[in-house]
Amino acid sequence: MSFQPQHLLLCLTLVACQNGPQTGSTTPESPQEIAAPDEWLPIFDGKSLEGWTPKIRGHQVGEDPYSTFRVEDGLLKVGYENYGGKFDARYGHLFYEVPLSHYMVRVEYRFIGNQMDGGAGWAWRNSGLMLHGQDPKTMAVDQEFPVSIEMQLLGGDGTNARTNANLCTPGTNVVMGDKLDQRHCINSTSETSHRDAWVWVTVEVRGGEVIRHFLGDELVLEYTEPQLDPRDSEAQLLIQGDALLLTGGTLSLQSESHPLEFRRVEVKLLPEAP
């Protein structure tokens, strides 16, 4: 039995579908070990982008005139062949249609080819999973990134060290070590993901309580209390009263100028009680 995006939407409305792991459970030893369908739910079907909506900087929600995100050979591909030879800060995000709060998401990805001309130096072999993100309908046409919590997906150059599964915070902050941490990016403790091999990462998201990053089955970063940053002009538009804590939001995949491929995007729903 396989799950399509609409099946996950149904599961989100039924308590019976929330058969996630108990606290302390671990991820599988390899991404090829597919769990029972009532646990890991594929939200990319390998055939289409059903259930996903693009938002490209400079364009309205739902418009992707460059086919940045497409499905070929069973893979979700991010490419720039139709960008006219220059990236021009046309950052993109592909949003899943169902908001999420307590869940785990795992993806298997790899970078391919060369970075698009005009891409920023930091964007080389750089993409991300955007968690607790804003609704793309609330993004400005020229907004570069959704207000969100980002787990970076990074690759190495074969020689130099570069941690993977780092944290970046567009319009947000987190708490680390019982203190509010306002750094924009925070490195994990992971090893470098060199070469073009497939890499798999997992994020455990428990509402506004705790978020944990895993590279393979190794915990490499943990933080609590994800929240809006009242100093950020884009986040200011989302603040309601004095409430800053983020307890849920959108999930999106990123395009930042380096081609990459995803062959698995899966979600496991978690019970809200810790």
221: in domain: yes
Residue 77 domain-assigned? yes
What is the predicted pLDDT for the residue at 39?
87
- Burial of 8: CB neighbours in 10 Å, binned 0-12, 13-18, 19+: buried
Please state, in angstroms and rounded to a whole number, the distance separating the CA atoms of residues 261 and 79. Answer: 9
Q: Is the Cβ–Cβ distance between 45 and 2 less than 8 Å?
A: yes
Residue 8 inside a domain? The answer is no
Residue 126, domain extent = 47-269
**pLDDT tens sequence across 131-186:** 999 999 999 999 999 999 999 999 999 999 999 999 999 999 999 999 999 999 99
Gap between the Cα atoms of 255 and 127, Å rounded: 6
Selection from 197, 232, 229 nearest residue 215 by Cα: 197
> Which has the minimum average pLDDT: 25-29, 95-99, 224-228?
25-29
Domain with residue 241: its CATH number is 2.60.120.560
Burial 231-244 (b: 16+ CB within 10 A, else e): ebebbeebeeeeeb
**Spatial distance between the Cα atoms of 263 and 13, rounded to a whole number of angstroms:** 27
State what percent of residues in the chain have pLDDT above 70. Answer: 85
Q: Is residue 34 part of a domain?
A: no
Q: For residue 273, what pLDDT band results from cuts at 50, 70 and 90?
A: low
Burial classification of residue 92, based on how many CB atoms lie within 10 Å of its CB (0-12 exposed, 13-18 middle, 19 or more buried): buried
Is 133 contained in some domain? yes
Please tell me the predicted confidence (pLDDT) of residue 9. 52
Whether 274 maps to a domain, the answer reads no
Residue 124, SS3 per DSSP: coil
Q: Is 79 a member of any domain? A: yes
Domain count, the chain: 1
- Range with the poorest average pLDDT among 4-13, 125-134, 163-172: 4-13
The Cα–Cα gap between 69 and 93 comes to 9
Whether the CB-CB separation of 127 and 199 falls below 8 Å is answered with: no
Task: Please check whether residue 242 lies inside any domain of the structure.
Answer: yes
How many Å apart are CA 52 and CA 222, to the nearest integer? 28
